[in-house]
Amino acid sequence: MANYNESEFLICLASKLMEDGTTAFVGTGIPMLAGALAKRMHAPNLVPIFEFGGTGASLEKLPLGVGDSRTFHKAVAASGICDIMETACRGFVEYGFLGGAQIDCYGNLNTTVIGKYWPPKVRLPGSGGANDVASFCWKTIVIMRKHDARAFVPKVDFITTPGYLTGPGAREKAGLPPGTGPYRVVTNLALMDFEPVTKRMRLIATHPGVKPEDVVKATGFELLVADQVGTNPEPTEKELKLLREEIDKDRYYI
């Protein structure tokens, strides 16, 4: 059994969600490493897209931010933020990767404020491009590093980024493209999807050593549980070698 830390597990699990020949809106941190790993392992034709205009970068060198020059390295296009957002609006981006301070059962995310908007208990960084990503990418993958009742809440204090809003049909009623929405939620405990009819978050797989009841207990709302709950695969020696010796050899993120 390989030895790995929590970040490495999240990176490896997220990378497996990226399919070859697709486009992925990639943010700073774990999504960048996941994309780089996916391109080396099983998705050589993955097209990473960065907010500030890099499209199709090789990810041979790890960017440190979405505006880093390495997001343009050997890319197929170097444009700007307006072109990138238009590309998503036109339906050409399959996956979007996001995180948040709070998430609810419908996948709505809060990265704006904890408590009242004014005066706030905690002021957070805000949306950036997150609202656009979740509004227009076909499948949004959410990475939550800490799975507990403070992050998984009955109702987010502020909807920075739309999930399924209040349930079935709510996205479409709000004017968002039909067929878009949250796809998976990756945490330090488990992997969740969204039940197709109710659009509520559902547990589909746990990490090794984690029981379904552990995940349910750590969630601040009623979490649906699939009839068959699987176990997420541990990182392989090859994945860890790539992460540690090629992708993030300076240990910026892992």
Q: Nearest Cα to 123, choosing from 177, 89, 160?
A: 160
- Alpha-carbon dihedral angle through residues 47, 53, 58, 59, given to the nearest 10 degrees: -100
Q: Could you tell me where the beta strands, DSSP code E, fall in 30-137? A: 47-49, 54-55, 77-78, 95-98, 102-103, 109-110, 113-114, 122-123
- Catalytic residue of the set 6, 19, 51, 195: 51
**Does 51 qualify as catalytic in the annotation?**
yes
Residue 115 has which token pair?
Answer: 């408590």
User: Looking at the DSSP assignment, which residues form a beta bridge with residue 141?
Assistant: 97, 184
DSSP letter (8 states) at residue 232: P
Q: Nearest Cα to 35, choosing from 183, 249, 242?
A: 242
Residues classed as catalytic: 51
